Amino acid sequence: MKRIMVMGISAGAGKSTFARQLGDQLSIGVYHLDAFYWKPGWIEAGLPEFKSKQEEVVGRDSWIIEGNYSSTYDLRASHADTIIYLELPLLLCLYRVMKRWWFHRGKTRDDIGEGCEEKLDLEFIKFIVTTYYPRKKKMKKRLKAFKSMSPEKKIIALKSRKEIRGFFKRLGS
């Protein structure tokens, strides 16, 4: 496990926290796709720039890249030896998004682009709610497609906080 792609069902699934903990445990650098995608003031990077930043990282010997962004799934998945998918319950994801906003409001998190103050609006909540179940169906197919890229590729799906704790416990032993 040296080139790891961490993805999740939704915002609030715990991708950033999981990736940081995994990076600490394995001593591997962690890269956050939100930091590649968002420019100051929540301006989107263009696809060529966004892709180029990822190409630079996936060419290295070891990395952990966390985030979704389906437009570049295949780029990351084709270079990853391990893909970890977090699928926590919708209500937990929503709770975490609101909690994150409360604790970081008016500040920029270290896993997001510089100059992007934490925000929360009804549009984002609606996005999470309306995409959660359709994504769940898509992800099953996507994970199978990723596995078909290489028989050695490890796919790990974690669907509860208990499973995540168990994963880190096994990793540490």
Residue 76, classified by CB atoms within 10 Å of its CB into exposed (0-12), middle (13-18) or buried (19+), is: buried
Range of the domain at 75: 3-172
Could you read off the pLDDT tens digit of each residue along the chain, which spans 173 residues?
999 999 999 999 999 999 999 999 999 999 999 999 999 999 999 999 999 999 999 999 999 999 999 999 999 999 999 999 999 999 999 999 999 999 998 899 989 888 999 999 999 999 999 999 999 999 999 999 999 999 899 999 999 999 999 999 999 87
Q: With contact defined as beta carbons under 8 Å apart, do 6 and 57 qualify?
A: no
CATH of the domain at 72: 3.40.50.300
Indicate the number of domains in the chain.
Answer: 1
Residue 143, classified by CB atoms within 10 Å of its CB into exposed (0-12), middle (13-18) or buried (19+), is: middle
Count, residues in the chain? 173
pTM of the full structure? 0.94
